[in-house]
């Protein structure tokens, strides 16, 4: 299903098989055009042309003849109404109409339309019906110049009365008749933009595009970009389409198969668990889905996708090795769909490695904050280095990418939310959940403290020992501590049958057979598993309950029964059902549990006695093969022994015995 989804998301066009960079030499053989194609202009070139059209577009203004006619009519009416009309009316009328004719010869432009005049242009185009006439801007009468123009036109009139009459009347009736024609101007501008040529040349089939060693720049760069776009965006025939899908399917299936084989080879417990494998592949598909969506929208935002979420989540639920392997394969698959694939792959793999090396103890929020900060800085440093290589200087840094890296880091904090969701959906456990479970005020541990206080204290001591041992051999300290706190919860069923909870000298085992006593002791493992499931403890914690005694014997009652009935007893009735520990953490718990419990039986807990006891207990466990299924080494076991000896001595405050 993952393969099908990824292939569905991938683009189905061809892919240019050469990698090249602006300003760098062409590293391949002489390249000839595989088909006829036009050299496409870059988007930057097209944007520059559009901007030039915006700046240089011809501005159209409309000449309104109706306004001119109404001004003549209104002038006559206003003049006749004036009391001075009978005295100077005929002279004023003749002069007034001459001035009106002069004002409207080029046109009178109003304030709103005047704002549309371009300071870069000396002329404007005036539409008079179907005619378009170019008129110098200086010939247009503007509102601020109207009174001055009227006064200048009346210099030859000697009568002050006539001049005052004309000035008053003309200033009232003359109205702007030049109006900016925004609709027609935009139509012309859009026509020019639509007619922009998106090509800048033509290359014929088998024509030389670039020689080996030539610098990729100028026309050569545009030609290569055009070929690449043509190959990746051309409409494929049904036959070609099917072959492309087949090719993608093979490559994606190989990558996913490698991940599955890696899990099977190195993490068989995950391979056998459909829930865990589903979680892994869901996250791989999710990352590819997010990048595909972003690339289809705008490829420049691809670095905003927080791909480091994948190794964070996989490390939180599984381990660093699996997280890094899945991350690398995911990035390799994304190389098919992202631009500048080598740069993208390099940056993302480096970021994934930094994530694996720095992210730890997610229950401490400051750790995740510091780790994501380091990842973001590494992104930026790597990007700066790539820019220097490609451009030859540091002046062409695109600060937009720094914003993308920062935004990606912020989105990476969503990993904590996803971890919480996956815990609920898949029943898995992370360090954050372990922190909550290890709280001694949790319902089950509080019940253990009340009903079986001795067992609770024993569990606390074992948890402390196990945590110290796990820390020594680089095991999961939070997991082993939490498992230790819950490993004996099955003793809640019959707490008084366990010595640590007996506060009187009355031992209930004295009234039953050795076989029944062993059965009660063995049953605490089964009861613990039932109780853990009732309280919905994660499987990783239940594993500690199930394995902390492995397949060992209930040795005390086994020996009593053997002495009482040497010829007729069944050893199987005194043996725990198992399974044996199958991880470092469960093996550590087995050693710590046995060491802590046995140390209570020492009458004189001297340093030597404690050393001998721990050596004896762990050696016996090894002889019985209790650790055969656990990925723990002899060196690890020796380290655990040293920690146990030191810690148990501290518990009993054992001092060195000085010679007398």
∠ CA(532), CA(535), CA(540), 5° rounding? 45
Specify the 3-state DSSP secondary structure of 502: coil
Helices (H), 413-554: 414-426, 431-437, 443-451, 453-472, 477-486, 514-534, 539-547
Q: Are residues 483 and 555 in the same domain?
A: yes
Q: Are residues 483 and 593 in the same domain?
A: yes
Counted domains in the chain: 3
DSSP codes, 89-115:
HHHHHHHHHHHHHHHHHH-EE-HHHHT
Q: Which residue is it, tokens 């939310």? A: 417
Q: How far apart are CA 431 and CA 444, in angstroms?
A: 19
Q: Which of 594, 350, 635, 343 is nearest to 466 (CA)?
A: 594
The answer to whether residue 163 is domain-embedded is: yes
The answer to whether residue 223 is domain-embedded is: no
The answer to whether residue 214 is domain-embedded is: no
Residue 88 is predicted with a pLDDT of: 63
DSSP codes, 41-69:
PPHHHHHHHHHHHHHHPPPEEEE-HHHHH
Q: Which residue is it, tokens 């912020």? A: 410
Q: Are residues 361 and 450 in the same domain?
A: no
- pLDDT confidence band for 659 (50 / 70 / 90): low
C-alpha count within 13 angstroms, C-beta hemisphere, residue 364: 9
597-632 pLDDT, tens digit each = 888 888 888 888 899 999 999 999 999 999 999 989
Report how far apart, in Å, the C-alpha atoms of 46 and of each of 185, 200, 398, 399 are.
21, 11, 20, 23
- Are 365 and 344 in contact by the 8 Å Cβ rule? The answer is no
14-34 pLDDT, tens digit each = 566 677 767 777 777 887 877
Q: How far apart are CA 630 and CA 466, in angstroms?
A: 16
Q: Are residues 140 and 274 in the same domain?
A: no
Q: Are residues 580 and 630 in the same domain?
A: yes
- Which of 123, 156, 191 terminates a domain? The answer is 191
- For the full predicted model, state whether its pTM sits above 0.75: no
Q: If residue 37 lies in a helix (H) or strand (E), which one and from where to where?
A: strand 37-40
The answer to whether residue 246 is domain-embedded is: no
- Which of 164, 191, 218 terminates a domain? The answer is 191
Q: Are residues 550 and 497 in the same domain?
A: yes
Residue 361 is predicted with a pLDDT of: 64
Q: How far apart are CA 603 and CA 600, in angstroms?
A: 8
Q: Are residues 483 and 594 in the same domain?
A: yes
Q: Identify whether 307 is preceded by a cis peptide bond (ω within 30 of 0).
A: no
Residues 6+ apart with CB under 8 A from 184: 60, 62, 127
Q: Which residue range is the domain that position 565 belongs to? A: 431-651
∠ CA(189), CA(135), CA(186), 5° rounding? 15
Q: Which of 436, 493, 486 is nearest to 466 (CA)?
A: 486
Q: Considering only CA atoms, give the Rg of the chain.
A: 44
The answer to whether residue 381 is domain-embedded is: yes
Residue 658 is predicted with a pLDDT of: 53
527-577 pLDDT, tens digit each = 999 999 999 888 889 999 999 999 998 888 878 877 878 776 777 888 898
φ and ψ at 575, to 5 degrees? Answer: -110, 135
Q: If residue 75 lies in a helix (H) or strand (E), which one and from where to where?
A: helix 65-81
Q: Are residues 186 and 85 in the same domain?
A: yes
The answer to whether residue 525 is domain-embedded is: yes
Least confident of 95-109, 132-146, 157-171, 536-550: 157-171
Q: Which residue is it, tokens 């050596």? A: 615
Q: Are residues 568 and 583 in the same domain?
A: yes
Q: Are residues 378 and 492 in the same domain?
A: no
Report how far apart, in Å, the C-alpha atoms of 413 and of each of 259, 306, 314, 407, 408 are.
26, 9, 15, 10, 9
- Are 484 and 466 in contact by the 8 Å Cβ rule? The answer is yes
Q: Are residues 533 and 505 in the same domain?
A: yes
- Which of 191, 224, 251 terminates a domain? The answer is 191
The answer to whether residue 198 is domain-embedded is: no
The answer to whether residue 97 is domain-embedded is: yes
444-500 pLDDT, tens digit each = 999 999 999 999 999 999 999 999 999 999 888 889 999 999 999 999 988 888 888
- pLDDT confidence band for 124 (50 / 70 / 90): confident
CATH number at residue 574: 1.10.3210
Summary mean pLDDT of the chain: 84
Q: Are residues 580 and 440 in the same domain?
A: yes
């Amino acid at each position: 299903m993952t393969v099908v989804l990824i292939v569905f998301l991938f683009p189905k066009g061809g892919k240019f098989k050469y990698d090249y960079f602006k300003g760098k030499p062409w590293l391949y053989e002489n390249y000839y055009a595989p088909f006829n194609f036009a050299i496409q202009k870059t988007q930057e070139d097209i944007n520059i042309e559009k901007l030039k059209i915006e700046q240089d577009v011809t501005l159209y203004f409309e000449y309104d003849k109706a306004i001119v006619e109404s001004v003549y009519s209104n002038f006559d009416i206003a003049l006749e109404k004036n009391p001075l009309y009978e005295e100077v009316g005929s002279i004023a009328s003749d002069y007034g109409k001459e001035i009106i004719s002069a004002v409207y010869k080029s046109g009178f432009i109003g304030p709103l339309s005047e704002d549309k005049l371009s300071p870069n242009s000396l002329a404007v185009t005036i539409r008079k019906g179907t005619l378009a006439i170019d008129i110098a801007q200086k010939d247009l009468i503007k509102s601020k110049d109207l009174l001055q123009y009227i006064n200048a036109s009346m210099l030859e009139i000697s009568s002050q009365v006539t001049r005052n009459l004309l000035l008053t009347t003309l200033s009232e009736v003359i109205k702007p008749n030049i109006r900016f024609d925004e609709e027609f101007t935009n139509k012309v501008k859009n026509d020019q933009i639509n007619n922009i040529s998106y090509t800048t040349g033509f290359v014929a089939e088998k024509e030389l595009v670039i020689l080996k060693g030539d610098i990729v720049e100028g026309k050569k760069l545009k030609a290569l970009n055009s070929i690449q776009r043509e190959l990746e965006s051309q409409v494929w025939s049904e036959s070609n389409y099917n072959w492309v899908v087949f090719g993608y399917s093979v490559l994606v299936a190989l990558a996913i198969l490698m991940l599955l084989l890696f899990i099977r080879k190195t993490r068989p417990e995950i391979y056998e668990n459909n829930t865990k494998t589903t979680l892994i592949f869901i996250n791989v598909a999710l990352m590819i889905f997010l990048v595909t969506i972003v690339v289809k929208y705008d490829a420049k935002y691809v670095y905003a996708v927080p791909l480091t979420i994948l190794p964070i989540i996989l490390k939180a639920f599984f381990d660093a090795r699996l997280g890094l392997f899945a991350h690398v394969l995911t990035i390799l698959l994304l190389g098919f769909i992202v631009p500048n694939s080598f740069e993208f792959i390099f940056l993302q793999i480096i970021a994934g490695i930094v994530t694996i090396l720095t992210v730890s103890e997610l229950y401490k929020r400051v750790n995740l904050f510091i780790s994501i900060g380091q990842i973001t800085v590494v992104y930026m440093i790597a990007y700066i280095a790539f820019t220097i290589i490609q451009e030859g200087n540091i002046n062409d840094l695109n600060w937009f990418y720094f914003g993308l890296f920062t935004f990606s880091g912020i989105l990476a904090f969503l990993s904590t939310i996803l971890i919480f969701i996956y815990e609920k959906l898949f029943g898995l456990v992370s360090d954050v959940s372990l922190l909550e479970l290890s709280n001694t005020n949790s319902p089950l541990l509080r019940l253990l403290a009340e009903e079986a206080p001795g067992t609770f204290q024993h569990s606390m001591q074992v948890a402390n020992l196990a945590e110290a041992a796990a820390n020594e051999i680089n095991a999961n300290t939070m997991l082993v501590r939490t498992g230790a706190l819950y490993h004996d919860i099955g003793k809640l069923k019959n707490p008084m049958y366990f010595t640590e909870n007996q506060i009187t000298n009355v031992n209930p085992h004295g009234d039953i057979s050795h076989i029944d006593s062993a059965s009660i002791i063995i049953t605490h493992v089964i009861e613990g598993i039932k109780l853990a499931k009732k309280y919905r403890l994660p499987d990783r914690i239940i594993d500690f309950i199930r394995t902390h005694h492995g397949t060992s014997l209930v040795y005390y009652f086994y020996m009593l029964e053997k002495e009482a009935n040497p010829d007729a007893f069944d050893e199987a009735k005194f043996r725990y059902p198992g399974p044996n520990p199958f991880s470092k953490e469960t093996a550590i718990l087995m050693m710590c549990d046995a060491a802590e419990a046995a140390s209570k039986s020492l009458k004189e807990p001297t340093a030597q006695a404690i050393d001998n006891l721990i050596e004896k207990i762990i050696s016996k466990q090894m002889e019985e093969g209790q650790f055969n299924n656990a990925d723990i080494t002899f060196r690890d076991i020796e380290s655990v022994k040293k920690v146990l000896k030191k810690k148990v001595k501290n518990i009993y405050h054992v001092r060195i015995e000085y010679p007398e």
